[in-house]
Amino acid sequence: MRLTEREKMLEGLLYDANYDEALIAERAVAKDLCFDFNQTRPSDVAGQTKIMQDLLGKTGDNFTVVAPFWCDYGSNIEIGDNFFANHNCVILDGAKVTFGDNVFIAPDCGFYTAGHPLDAERRNQGLEYAKPITVGDNVWIGGGVKVMPSVTIGDNAVIGGGSVVTKDIPANVIAVGNPCRILREITPEDGLREG
């Protein structure tokens, strides 16, 4: 049995991202919903919430996404309760992108499941792959952070602004940099400090 390009995408295999008509159509629907969301008045919270519920694969009971927001498919994105994403969040969701509860995302952040072959011949054929991203509960992601394919960020982690996260980050740590590295564990004394 031959896999569809969508099935290959969700399996993490090389797939035709540029020329497969079914995937192009799916992305067009998602981009139209993103456009509608981004053009909805900020005071129309109910309207924005409804568009997000139609766009995303799963939402928690309470969430806020501040426009503009862009994604590829939407159906591969799951957000937990009390999710907050500030302006200019981009999620390339060829693979599953899962956010736990109480996740706070600062402006200008990107979550990129997509990757491309290193050799130009296959890359120029429109082939790519997608690997999932998982963000645990109670995670704070600072401004301008970019999260790459196959990354898991553990519960209670804090990712410093401007970081490029290329490898897993464990729970209960502060991590920062390009590439993102663990700075230190979060301690009880941190409860007495501001960010």
Q: What's the chain's Rg over C-alpha atoms?
A: 17
β-pairing, 89-92 with 127-130? unpaired
| Nearest of 144, 100, 146, 151 to residue 130 by alpha carbon | 151
87 is catalytic: no
Q: What DSSP designation does 62 have? A: S
| Distance, CA of 117 to CA of 128 (rounded, Å) | 6
CA gap 37, 70 in Å, rounded: 9
Tokens linked to 4: 């569809």
Name the DSSP class of 140.
Answer: E
Coarse DSSP helix, strand, coil percentages of the chain, rounded to the nearest 5 percent: 25, 30, 50
Contact yes or no for 67/44 (Cβ under 8 A): no
Residue 139, SS3 per DSSP: coil
Q: Which of 50, 96, 116, 131 is catalytic?
A: 116
The residues that are catalytic are 116
